[in-house]
């Protein structure tokens, strides 16, 4: 195989390409998103982390945050304090979008689930519904077969 040759563009071509990209991005930025009045908030609280996501009523995610994303590390991610800070960042996102009423869905067994819900309610969002969607096994998994000696 021979040497690969890279085709270089002239400065004029690069400037034209940049102008095209700026025009396209300018058109996209002018489109305003409609204000969303109602949304769903999903709180997933595990033993290691707390994740909160904000979605519209169809289920399209508008924003999310977690204790790790905010800056908590190690076992501090699973604390109720970290969960309340995560919920506060989601409230700020919701207020920017214009959300007033939320439906809350809680999943998991971690310690941050209650504090995240309390901070959502305390920051001025109206709670329309609260539902626990933690998966519960009805019959459990299949037991191991008997040991043969």
Residue pLDDT, tens place only, 61-85:
999 999 999 999 999 999 999 999 9
| Residue 28: predicted pLDDT | 47
Cα dihedral across residues 126, 42, 81, 36: positive or negative: negative
Residue that is written with structure tokens 């001025």 in the block: 124
Asked if residue 101 has pLDDT above 70, the reply is yes
pLDDT at 63: 95
Q: What is the CATH number of domain 48-68+76-110+129-134?
A: 3.30.420.80
Q: For the chain, give every domain's residue range.
A: 48-68+76-110+129-134
On average, the pLDDT of the chain sits at 87
Q: Given the DSSP bridges, would you call strands 38-45 and 126-132 parallel, antiparallel or unpaired?
A: unpaired
pLDDT reported for residue 12: 74
Handedness of CA 67, 72, 77, 79 (dihedral sign): negative
As a whole number of angstroms, the distance between CA 43 and CA 48 comes to 14
Length of the chain as a residue count: 149
Residue 149: predicted pLDDT: 87
pLDDT at 55 over 90: yes
Mean pLDDT of the 88-95 span: 95
Residue (of 86, 95, 85) closest to 125 by Cα position:
95
CA trace torsion 68, 69, 70, 73 (10° rounding): 20
Q: How far apart are CA 89 and CA 116, in angstroms?
A: 11
* Single pTM value for the model: 0.73
């Amino acid at each position: 195989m021979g040497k690969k040759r890279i085709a270089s563009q002239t400065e004029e071509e690069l400037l034209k390409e940049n102008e095209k990209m700026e025009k396209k991005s300018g058109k996209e930025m002018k489109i305003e998103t409609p204000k969303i009045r109602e949304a769903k908030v999903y709180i997933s609280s595990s033993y290691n982390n707390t994740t909160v996501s904000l979605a519209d009523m169809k289920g399209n995610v508008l924003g999310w945050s977690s204790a790790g994303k905010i800056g908590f590390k190690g076992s501090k991610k699973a604390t109720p304090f970290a969960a309340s800070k995560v919920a506060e960042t989601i409230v700020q996102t919701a207020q920017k979008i214009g959300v007033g009423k939320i439906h809350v869905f809680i999943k998991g067994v971690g310690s941050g689930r209650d504090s995240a819900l309390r901070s959502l309610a305390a920051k001025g969002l109206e709670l329309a519904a609260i539902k626990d969607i933690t998966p519960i096994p009805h019959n459990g998994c299949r037991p191991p077969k008997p040991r043969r000696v």
